[in-house]
């Protein structure tokens, strides 16, 4: 009954990282993003990775990470690239086209989705992206499987000569369990492709490659049907058949499937024969999947609507948000005792800026400077400073995607909305803000941009910021006028002076950049 001695407690993210190291990766590429960050951090901290010289520096954004990983896979070596779900939007151009080029060495793209939006602005399901790209994808059920699957994913990637996506969710990424390591495999030697047409997607080559990708789909389905990660549990009660994907299988087991037949799916494309068999055997189906009703919608298309298929579309499970054992129990129409209630005296406790955070002083001088400009708007971005939307500051009016602060301020200014201000962190600026600033400089747009430079990528846990030490040079290089590039220190004692600087730059009819520079208080705590 007791577990093996060689087991270690690992986050799902850490199990993936160790699995990738043991699968012989030569590099990991990533930009920090909750809940994917700890994969790269684990490899950065690994003595084995250091000894082997595994590449493990952060990238500027997910697109540069994806392309660098593709370059490593081009060279014949195995590469891992990790990101949160919305990061795949940033990397999508490279990702989709990597399916057209294919790979030489194994390329595994790990994407951490965030159903219930614990730390994100949407809950998009990355399985759609992999399906769209036409590549195989995995959805591990637990930490041990996440570890084991990395070897399978890299092997499959090299066997199919395609990138492979592994989709996890917050609950697996940030949950620990005991994990046993397997054998480690050596890294691949350098082996770039000899046929230069493969990676040169001129239309003539791309058409040929795309046809080859389509021709390979039948083989990918066959791999899924035969995969050890797709399993069937027979059952005698065929009034209901259950399909559970990835982590959802755990919730089903927690509440027990009873005597109902079950298909557990963790490798895609969807094993159609397995699912069709279940459909034909049972009167009704229940589809339990974390995220969007990806399989549920496919089934209705695939099998018609002759038999009821229950799931997130039908209301058997909620359309949005993370699954829980309790939701699965209710979907199976099992009885349960009502739980204790949360008393009315319990108030929400939202996250807030840390005591002593430089953003607090920045928002205080921003609010003071805007007292005379209540018609103005502040376009913000993704980071700790997004908490400036909440009381007591209520300083910012938007938060959409990485880099959207500067570009939305530009568009609003183009429309005549003034003053148009942007608030963006240093790391977000080098991730996706620089090109937007170039647009504004090119057109001499009347906007005022505050770069909150805290020397780090704060919200995800103080990773290195590409902007550190080169922010002024970047702004000047992009063409910001020297006299409208201002540096302030957000401290209480500088409040009046900072208000005056901001007012001056709001009054200037052109592009101003104000760098509000003071280090994140968490950096000091970490040392």
Partner 1 sequence: MKCDIVLAGVGGQGILSIAAVLGRAALEQGLHIKQAEVHGMAQRGGAVQSHFRMSSDAVASDVIPLNQADLILSMEPMEALRYLPWLKEEGWVVSNNQPVDNIAAYPELASIHAALQALPHHVLFDGVSVATEHGSARALNMVMLGAASPFVPLAVEVLEQSIRTQFAHKDAKVVQTNLDVFRAARSLALQNMPQTT
Question: How far is residue 146's CA from residue 165's CA, in Å, rounded to a whole number?
Answer: 12
Parallel/antiparallel/unpaired status of strands 309-310 and 377-379: unpaired
Nearer to partner 1, 149 or 160 (CB): 149
- Encode 287-306: b = buried (16+ Cβ within 10 Å), e = exposed: bbbbbbbbbbebbbeebeee
Nearer to partner 1, 51 or 349 (CB): 349
Nearer to partner 1, 202 or 527 (CB): 527
**Contacts with 152 (C-beta within 8 Å, 6 or more apart), sequence order:** 138, 229
Nearer to partner 1, 36 or 430 (CB): 36
Answer whether 123's CB lies under 8 Å from 203's CB. no
Give the E-state strand segments of 376-465 in sequence order: 377-379, 420-425, 447-453
Q: Compute and round to an integer the Cα radius of gyration of the chain.
A: 25
Nearer to partner 1, 344 or 482 (CB): 344
> To 10 degrees, the CA torsion angle through 246, 291, 301, 236?
40
Nearer to partner 1, 101 or 456 (CB): 456
Nearer to partner 1, 192 or 351 (CB): 351
Question: How far is residue 97's CA from residue 134's CA, in Å, rounded to a whole number?
Answer: 11
Parallel/antiparallel/unpaired status of strands 377-379 and 137-138: unpaired
CB of 383 to partner 1, least distance (A): 9
- Here the tokens at position 374 are 């209540």
CB of 168 to partner 1, least distance (A): 12
Nearer to partner 1, 47 or 343 (CB): 343
CB of 198 to partner 1, least distance (A): 39
- Here the tokens at position 364 are 């205080």
Binding residues for partner 1 (CB under 8 A): 1-3, 7-9, 11, 34-35, 37-38, 118-119, 142, 171-172, 174-178, 247, 250-251, 253-255, 324-326, 329, 336-337, 339-343, 345-354, 384, 387, 391, 459-461
CB of 200 to partner 1, least distance (A): 40
Show the DSSP H helices in 27-140 as ranges. 37-45, 47-52, 62-74, 85-101, 127-133
CB of 176 to partner 1, least distance (A): 4
Answer whether 109's CB lies under 8 Å from 66's CB. yes
Question: Tokens 């540096």 map to which residue?
Answer: 487
CB of 242 to partner 1, least distance (A): 14
CB of 489 to partner 1, least distance (A): 22
Parallel/antiparallel/unpaired status of strands 231-233 and 262-265: antiparallel
CB of 18 to partner 1, least distance (A): 16
Nearer to partner 1, 251 or 279 (CB): 251
Question: How far is residue 410's CA from residue 416's CA, in Å, rounded to a whole number?
Answer: 10
CB of 204 to partner 1, least distance (A): 46
Answer whether 76's CB lies under 8 Å from 188's CB. yes
CB of 244 to partner 1, least distance (A): 11
Question: How far is residue 43's CA from residue 6's CA, in Å, rounded to a whole number?
Answer: 20
Cα–Cα nearest to 56, from 74, 76, 32 = 32
CB of 341 to partner 1, least distance (A): 7
Answer whether 263's CB lies under 8 Å from 243's CB. yes
Nearer to partner 1, 37 or 267 (CB): 37
Nearer to partner 1, 343 or 374 (CB): 343
Cα–Cα nearest to 73, from 135, 9, 119, 18 = 135
Cα–Cα nearest to 383, from 322, 431, 349 = 431
Half-sphere CA count of 377, side-chain side, radius 13 A:
17
């Amino acid at each position: 009954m007791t577990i093996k001695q060689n087991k270690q407690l690992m986050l799902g993210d850490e199990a993936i990282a160790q699995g990738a190291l043991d699968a012989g990766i030569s590099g990991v590429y990533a930009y920090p993003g909750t809940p994917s960050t700890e994969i790269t951090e684990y490899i950065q901290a690994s003595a084995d990775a250091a000894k082997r010289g595994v590449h493990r520096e952060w990238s500027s954004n997910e697109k540069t990470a994806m392309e660098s990983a593709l370059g490593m896979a081009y060279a014949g070596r195995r590469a891992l690239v990790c990101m949160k779900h919305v990061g795949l939007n940033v990397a999508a151009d490279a990702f989709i086209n990597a399916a057209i080029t294919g790979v030489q060495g194994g390329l595994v793209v790990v994407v951490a989705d965030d159903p219930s939006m614990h730390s994100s602005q949407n809950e998009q399901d990355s399985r759609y992206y992999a399906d769209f790209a036409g590549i195989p994808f995995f959805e591990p059920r637990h930490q041990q499987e996440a570890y084991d699957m990395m070897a399978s994913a890299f092997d499959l990637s090299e066997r199919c000569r395609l990138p492979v996506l592994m989709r996890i969710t917050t609950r697996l990424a940030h949950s620990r369990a005991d994990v046993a390591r397997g054998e480690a495999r050596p890294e691949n030697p350098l082996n770039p492709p000899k046929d230069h047409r493969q990676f040169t997607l001129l239309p003539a080559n791309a058409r040929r490659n795309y046809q080859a990708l389509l021709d390979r789909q039948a083989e990918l389905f066959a791999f899924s049907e035969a995969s050890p990660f797709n399993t069937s549990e027979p059952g005698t009660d065929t009034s209901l058949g259950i399909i559970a994907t990835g982590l959802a299988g755990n919730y089903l087991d927690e509440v027990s499937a009873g005597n109902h037949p079950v298909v557990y799916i963790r490798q895609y494309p969807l094993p159609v024969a397995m699912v069709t068999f279940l459909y034909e055997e049972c009167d009704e189906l229940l589809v339990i999947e974390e995220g969007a009703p990806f399989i549920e919608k496919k089934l209705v298309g695939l099998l018609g609507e002759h038999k009821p298929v229950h799931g997130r579309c039908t209301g058997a499970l909620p359309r949005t948000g993370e699954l829980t054992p309790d939701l699965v129990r209710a979907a199976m129409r099992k009885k349960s005792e009502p739980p204790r209630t949360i008393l009315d005296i319990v108030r929400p406790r939202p996250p807030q800026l840390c005591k002593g955070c430089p953003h607090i002083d920045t928002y205080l001088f921003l609010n003071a400077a805007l007292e005379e400009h209540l018609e103005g708007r502040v376009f913000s971005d993704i980071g700790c400073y997004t908490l400036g939307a909440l009381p007591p500051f209520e300083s910012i009016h938007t938060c959409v995607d990485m880099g959207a602060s500067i570009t939305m301020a530009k568009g609003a200014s183009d429309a005549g909305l003034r003053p148009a201000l942007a608030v963006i962190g240093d790391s977000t600026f080098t991730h996706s803000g620089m090109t937007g600033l170039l647009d504004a400089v090119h057109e001499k747009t009347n906007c005022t941009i505050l770069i909150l430079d805290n020397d780090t990528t704060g919200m995800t846990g103080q990773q290195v910021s590409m902007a550190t030490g080169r922010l002024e040079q970047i702004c000047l290089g992009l063409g910001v006028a020297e006299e409208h590039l201002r540096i302030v220190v957000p401290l209480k004692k500088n409040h009046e002076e900072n208000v005056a600087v901001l007012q001056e730059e709001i009054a200037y009819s052109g592009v101003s950049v104000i760098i509000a520079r003071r280090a994140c208080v968490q950096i000091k705590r970490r040392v």
